[in-house]
Structure 1
Amino acid sequence: MDLFFLDYRDPLVGLIFITILIFVVALINYFWRFFIYKDEEEKLEKFIKKFELNNIHKDLLRDPNLSLDNLIFLASIFTRSGEFEKAIQIYLIALEKVKDKKEQEGIFISLAEAYFKAGFLERSKEVLLNALKIRPRNERALKLLKIVYLRLRSYKEVLNTLECLLELDEEVKEEKEFIKALIIKDQDMEQKNKLELILNLDIKDNAMLQRFIFENYQIIKEQNLFDIIDLLYKDQKLIKIDKQEYKEFFYALNLLPKEEKIFIKNQNFRMFKILKNNEFKVKMVFSYMCLDCKNIMPLFFYHCPICYSFNKCKILYEVKLDETN
């Protein structure tokens, strides 16, 4: 019996066993990768067919002579021009052609943005989740997914997405408090209780949350005038607050008692007051600039509709003659 075991202690026999073992593992790995790749390919094919649109030009776009770069460039042009249906169809055809995971990831995000801009939020969400399966730490996909969940009023999912962004060292503390306020506002309870819960959040130095509180509950929490100036101008109501900038603003609007005189340092307020006193029809006009992407929008935003950044809205204002009458 001992002689039997001694035979297997031969180094050559051991080397043969190791070689066979490596071959078997490599073979198993090959077949495993083959079936996984085939499964992924079938899933991608089902995904494409799920959202595919009828298009008489599909065969032309599937022409092998038409490169992937040309397809993506063409789709981006249609997206910028607002022809989202055409852009979506081209991105889906591009997905049929591409095999590289990194390229698939980029097309998934572009497709999700096209769906998002077209208003198909559920489809955009599904596409983004496919992109995140390829690379879970995709910051661009996570930021867009956050906005999609926000539009769908899925606030708990927004918080989960913010936790992922926190792992990527994104500064999301203020945004999390803002989303918590949205969750509270959405709950079925008395306004008084909602307000109490919201005021217990970390409000300090959170300009967007402070604006949200004023916009919904008319409570000013130490915020800068120029974070809510458009709301105050729209309301045209005096709010008693012991800050010089507020006093100048209300004095320019002729909302302070006539006997109260204030020197106006702000040039726009002073111009407005002088023109108003001389019976010119004037108004303040507001626009809103994102401090990150520098795009200017006609409406206020908590999240930039272009780059999806939070708390980057700067309110721009100017005095103009009112020519409506």
Structure 2
Amino acid sequence: MNELTQIYRDPLFGIAILLGIIALVILGDYYRNYYRKKQRQKSLNTLVKSYEHNGLFDGISEFLKVSKDPIPTLIFLAKSYAKGGDNQQAIKIYLTLIEQFDDMQKKIEILQELGILYLKAGFLQKAKENFLEILNLNPRNLKVLYKLIELYEILGDFRSAYDALECVEENILEMTIEQKKKVKLARDYFLAQILFGSREEDREERLCRLIQEQPSLHKLILGHFKLHNPKLFWENLPTKGWENYIDLLWDFSLEQIPLSIIKDSPCIELYQAKGYYPTRECHNFYLETLRLFTSCSVQKATLSFSYTCPHCKGEFPFDTFRCSSCGELGVLHLNLKPQRVKSEKNYSLL
């Protein structure tokens, strides 16, 4: 008994017990990570098997045999098909690639491209499944996070998009100042969209504060006020850079315009050009053209609108806050174009 007591009190015994506990913890952690890896692999394989696919795409199997690194080439080929509008062929290539690799990292890389293609092609549910599975395996994948946020926006699920930005902000220390500004703009944009659909008593007040905090949302929020609170629309109409708001101001009738508010505003030029008020020379070339047609010519003219993205310079017939070409958030530049109004005769079909 004394010998056992001495062994128990021996410092080497305590060290041996400590080493044994450390070994058990390391072993337990190893098996836990191994189990998680297996579960991830199983989850990934389940997702892959859920897609309908009829065997190898023609010629790819032979290419896989002779190429040491086929992924970049085949992804480029798939993107070329997608760019040409042949989404079905591009999807076949991605699905074939997934079947050929056991390496999880390569599968994730391909699934990422496949999810982006599904998003562009309009297969939103499959894109969502892809993105969520990838983020389950790699929560710090910023590219997939941004695409998932874009998908939520398309679905109108602005609350989920707003919440998903928290995951992006966890990586904020790794971002540049420009990237931080983009995240802030996205957060304010989704907050505005959430407020548009809410019935909170202080909704208008919060939107007015948001205009002051995030000037890029000024036009978007004014569009909401125009439909739901015209008084706030006129009160928050800017005097600086107002030409980019001409499309919002265009379709007001004379009775809807509060002269007491806009009589000292430069935007009154638009209504002078349309002949609502006594005419005077307009500083804007296109409005001056419209004014001259209205006051001095028997020909009738109007203005047509188009919108240019400041990032990719793409031109579009409709105004959106997210560019449909490059995906960047921000105000599109308004383009004005004088257009002749053609008089059309109504002919009876009888």
TM interval, shorter chain, is 0.7 to 0.9
Residue from 268, 286, 304 that aligns with 2:286: 268
**Any stretches of 5+ residues in structure 2 without a counterpart?**
345-350
Structure 1 residues 225, 105: closer, same or farther in 2, change over 3 A? farther
SS in 2 for 1:245: coil
Aligned to 1:53: 52
Bigger shift: 26-35 or 151-160?
A: 26-35
Bigger shift: 116-125 or 280-289?
A: 280-289
Letter in structure 2 aligned against 1:294: K
Letter in structure 2 aligned against 1:269: L
Deviation at 1:272, TM superposition (A): 2.3
Deviation at 1:300, TM superposition (A): 0.7
Percent identical among aligned pairs is 24
- Contact in 2 for aligned 1:211/1:227 (Cα 8 Å): no
Measured in 2, the distance between the counterparts of 1:324 and 1:309 equals 40
Deviation at 1:298, TM superposition (A): 1.9
Bigger shift: 28-37 or 105-114?
A: 28-37
1:102-132 Cα deviation digits (max 9, x unpaired)? 5444433322221112222222222112232
Measured in 1, the distance between the counterparts of 2:203 and 2:287 equals 33
TM-score, length-scaled by structure 1: 0.78
Letter in structure 1 aligned against 2:250: Y
Deviation at 1:24, TM superposition (A): 7.3
Measured in 2, the distance between the counterparts of 1:100 and 1:245 equals 63
Q: Does the alignment pair 1:226 with 2:226?
A: no
Measured in 2, the distance between the counterparts of 1:244 and 1:134 equals 55
SS in 2 for 1:150: helix
Structure 1 residues 255, 162: closer, same or farther in 2, change over 3 A? farther
Structure 1 residues 291, 26: closer, same or farther in 2, change over 3 A? same
Measured in 1, the distance between the counterparts of 2:27 and 2:265 equals 78
- Contact in 1 for aligned 2:303/2:339 (Cα 8 Å): yes
Measured in 2, the distance between the counterparts of 1:215 and 1:244 equals 18
> What is the Cα-based RMSD across aligned positions, in Å?
3.7
Deviation at 1:58, TM superposition (A): 3.5
Q: Does the alignment pair 1:153 with 2:156?
A: yes
Counterpart mapping for 1:139-288 below 5 A: 139-167=142-170, 168=172, 170-171=180-181, 172-187=183-198, 196=204, 199=207, 201-204=209-212, 205=215, 206-217=217-228, 218=230, 219-220=233-234, 221-223=236-238, 224-235=241-252, 239=257, 240=259, 241-256=262-277, 260-276=278-294, 277-288=296-307
Measured in 2, the distance between the counterparts of 1:321 and 1:248 equals 20
Measured in 1, the distance between the counterparts of 2:202 and 2:90 equals 43
Deviation at 1:234, TM superposition (A): 4.1
What is the total number of aligned residue pairs between the two structures? 316
Structure 1 residues 305, 137: closer, same or farther in 2, change over 3 A? farther
Structure 1 residues 265, 95: closer, same or farther in 2, change over 3 A? same
**Any stretches of 5+ residues in structure 1 without a counterpart?**
none
Bigger shift: 148-157 or 160-169?
A: 160-169
Aligned to 2:348: none
1:144-199 Cα deviation digits (max 9, x unpaired)? 2222112222221121123333442633445444433433433468xxx5864654
- Contact in 1 for aligned 2:196/2:224 (Cα 8 Å): no
- Contact in 2 for aligned 1:203/1:210 (Cα 8 Å): yes
TM-score, length-scaled by structure 2: 0.74
Measured in 2, the distance between the counterparts of 1:173 and 1:324 equals 49
Structure 1 residues 130, 77: closer, same or farther in 2, change over 3 A? same
- Contact in 2 for aligned 1:53/1:89 (Cα 8 Å): no
Structure 1 residues 166, 44: closer, same or farther in 2, change over 3 A? closer
